[in-house]
Structure 1
Amino acid sequence: MSKQKVLIVDDSEMNRALLTDILEGSYDVAEAEDGAQAIEVLSQNDEDFWLVLLDIIMPGIDGFGVLESIREHQWSNRVVVMMISSDGSPENINRAYSLGAFDYISRPFDAMIVHRRVENTLMLFARQDDLERRVKEQVVEQQKNNDLMISILSHIVEFRNGESGPHIQHVKGITELLLQHLLAMTDQYQLTEDDIQLIVTASALHDIGKVAIPEEILNKPGRLTDEEFAIMKSHSAIGSQMLLDLPEEQLASPLISVANAICRWHHERYDGRGYPDGLVGEEIPICAQVVSLADVYDALTSERSYKKAFSHEKALSMIIEGQCGTFNPLLLQCLTEASDELAAMKGIG
């Protein structure tokens, strides 16, 4: 196992040698003879170092200047700073702590105490690092489990609907592609990468309300009657209600909130002629707008019980010309820009 790396920063060669002698048996020690050199070393290797032993009084950039640089570059997220100085004034000690120093050792010092304080500090941060790693692993595992359960549920809906299993994956892929283009195009919706992944995951639940629709309507090969179409349209409100009926503690989840918006409003249209609520323009949450467009594109380019698949070019033409309802002009621009990627994703032309 490799040794933890420590950087000693002091303009006195004798002081550096003394500290190196104390620590080199247990740690991989590097030295910097002033503040400027310390900043240069950290800028090139900040992820390698666990701890910096930092003097205050140095020519040029002093210890406080190094602390300010460490904070500015956010190196303090990865490296621990311990001040070690003959200046033990309360003002300097308080200033060091306010700039992010973890500990302050005054000279003259006892070699055993220095070694023990360095050892205890690094042990504490190693445990914290291990705890953070374990928490991240648990979060990732939980997310995998959530994705698995959502995938199973959505595929049950697709199986009953008689549609191909890839539809859910297509909608997720198209949704992510459109969102990435939208993110690059505008900051109007203030989307983050986390937002995008949340919407992509929730998109798999857009049609869960179809579990309540009679199978003879879901899989009817011909045109639906007005009465049958009214029943079919109810799936968006039903899916939303299914989510709203979850236990109260689950309703607070961002995933459920986004999934609910997608379920209820992915058949709304930008001109207000959609359903179930006739929302207009930006009244429709952007998550539902994007999933709506992804769903329509995949439906057009896929074979269904009531129709053959349209070509990629024909599907784009139908959407842009408004034959499938009116969509957000920005999203239509994203769809056009992503044309080649969409065709490649579905393997069509």
Structure 2
Amino acid sequence: MSDAKEEALLIVDDEEINRAILANIFSSEYAIIEAEDGQESLDLIESNPNGLSAILLDVVMPRLNGIEVLRRLYQTGLTERIPVFLITADIGSSTMREAYNLGVMDVIQKPVVPYIVRRRVNSVVELFRARRRLGAEVERQRDQLLLQAQQLAEMGMGMVEALATAIEFRSDESGEHVHRIHDITCHLLSNTPLGEGLTQEQIRQIGLGAVTHDVGKISIPDAVLNKKGRLTAEEFELMKTHTVRGAELLSRIPQMREHAAYRYAYDIALHHHERWDGRGYPDGLVGDQTPIWTQIVSLADVYDALVSKRCYKDAFPAHTAMDMILRGECGTFNPRLLEYFCQAEPVLRQFYPPVKGVG
């Protein structure tokens, strides 16, 4: 018994001599706690439910008898965690049957034989201890595996974020574009009714997904990606493929698929160029067929492109960009989304460093 004296043994009997006999048998191995009746035993158990190795329970006692105590313990699930032994002279078949149905580990007849009762009790106590140790180890390993899976998923997401930022540099941008799209998306979902029904954790995941919206541009040749003039029809069709390529890329990263943000990232990458009137790409989705978070990324992407300097244009002032969006020069958007975007735009403007000519 390597855990000797670390836990206590509760002896419940209204006869002092019976308690003394049992205490004498186990005092060298356990701290002994005594109760004179069933109600007192329940009070002691309630005050120390995790510090008991076993309960030795008499049947015939005042206030609450042993079977009534056993019923209470069974109802609270304690008989699953603490082994209970009936120590009684009443071993009628009905008493034994109910006791075992209520989860008692053993029924020991009075008068007790010391070496027999010690062996029977200690064997079960050790079994419960081993089960607790095993349960704790299983729990520890499960937590470790969950942590490792989370770390792998975060690593995969981090790699994709780094790739998304690298693509921005490749297209002659500052690399801040993806972070602004993240901030605009999270702000609108957190501070307007557009995010109604979403938890903060879901909004965080959507923000992570927004970072990867243009990851498919890795497949677009530099000559098209950085072209200063207007794209030809053929070049535009090639540029449009970055949506499908982005979704395909995300789906091929095992760690990404295990990340909670994956479902949002996939849809955002695939559908952030859809439009409210169905004239977007790649699937021509109409209205709310595109999830609201992807609609937000779509509008944020257009706004950021307008107010930022690009290889093919200078930055527009914020008020000019908003006029262009509201006049439908950049495609059609959800009217409700436009309403809340307009309300939030003075705050969103603060996400940008002051640049001459932008305001």
TM-score, normalising length: structure 1: 0.65
Partner of 2:209: 202
Alignment match, 2:287: 281
Q: Amino acid of the residue matched to residue 82 of structure 1? A: I
Alpha-carbon spacing, 1:242–1:128, altered in 2? closer, same or farther (3 Å): closer
Q: 1:318 to 1:142 in 2, by over 3 A?
A: same
1:150 Cα deviation after fit: 0.7
Matched with 1:170 is 180
Q: Are the equivalent residues in 2 in contact too, given 1:272–1:280 (CA < 8 A)? A: yes
The percent of aligned pairs where both chains have the same amino acid is: 31
Q: Which range is displaced more, 219-228 or 156-165?
A: 219-228
Aligned to 1:137: 147
Change (3 A) 1:218 1:122: same
Alpha-carbon distance change, 344 to 81 in structure 1, aligned in 2, over 3 angstroms: farther
Separation (CA, whole Å) in 2 of partners of 1:336 and 1:50: 61
1:271 counterpart residue number: 277
State the Cα deviation string for residues 177-226 of structure 1 (Å, max 9, x = none).
44445798533xxx566654554433333213323333243223455455
| 1:86 matched to 2:93 | no
Contact 2:161 2:211 (8 Å CA) reproduced: yes
- For 1:282 and 1:207, the matched residues in 2 are separated by 21
CA contact (8 A) 1:265 1:288 kept: yes
AA aligned to 1:236 is T
Offset, 1:253: 5.6
Which secondary structure does the structure 1 equivalent of 2:305 belong to?
Answer: helix
Q: What is aligned with 1:105?
A: 105
Structure 2 counterparts to residues 1-349 of structure 1, below 5 A: 22-24=29-31, 33=40, 57=67, 62-67=72-77, 81-86=81-86, 89-90=96-97, 93-94=100-101, 104-106=104-106, 108=108, 110=118, 111-113=121-123, 115-180=125-190, 185-187=195-197, 195-224=202-231, 228-242=235-249, 246=252, 258-305=264-311, 306-308=313-315, 310-311=317-318, 319=325, 322-329=328-335, 331-332=337-338, 335=341, 342-343=348-349, 345-346=351-352
Measure the CA separation in 2 of the matches of 1:176 and 1:149: 21
Change (3 A) 1:320 1:82: farther
Deviation track 1:280-327 (CA, whole Å, cap 9, x = no partner) reads 02222445324323323433443323121544x665666566554333
Contact 2:216/2:244 (CA < 8 Å) preserved in 1? yes
**Contact 2:83–2:124 under 8 Å retained in 1:** no
> 1-side partners of 2:142 and 2:190: how far apart?
29
Provide structure 1 residue ranges, at least 5 long, that are not aligned to the other structure. 26-31, 43-48, 71-79, 97-103
RMSD, aligned CA: 4.9
Equivalent in the alignment of 1:73: none
Quote the residue 2:3 is aligned against. Answer: none
Pair 1:140–1:264, CA change in 2 (3 A): closer
**Counterparts of 1:314 and 1:40, CA distance in 2:** 70
- Residue 131 of structure 1: CA displacement? 0.7
What residue is the counterpart of 2:112 in the other structure?
A: none
Contact 2:70 2:102 in 1 (8 A): no
Q: Distance in 1 between matches of 2:348 and 2:13?
A: 63
Change (3 A) 1:285 1:58: same
**Gaps in structure 2 of 5+ consecutive residues:** 1-5, 33-38, 58-65, 88-94, 109-116
Counterpart-to-counterpart distance in 1, 2:52 and 2:232: 73
CA distance in 2, matches of 1:36, 1:344: 62
- Counterpart residue identity of residue 175, structure 2: G
Secondary structure, aligned partner of 1:62: helix
Classify 1:22/1:153 alpha carbon distance in 2 versus 1 (closer, same or farther; 3 Å): same
CA distance in 2, matches of 1:20, 1:330: 75
SS at match of 1:153: helix
Shift of 1:57: 4.7
Q: How many Å separate the matches in 1 of 2:163 and 2:336?
A: 31
SS at match of 2:82: strand
Shift in alpha-carbon separation, 1:250–1:134, aligned structure 2, 3 A: closer
Residue 155 (structure 1) shift: 2.5
- Residue 95 of structure 1 and its aligned partner are, at CA, apart by 5.6
The count of aligned residue pairs is: 311
Name the larger-Rg structure: 2
Distance 2:333 2:203 in 1: 19
Helix, strand or coil for the counterpart of 1:86?
A: strand
Deviations 1:121-166 (A, max 9, x none): 3311221232123112212321232123212321232121111212
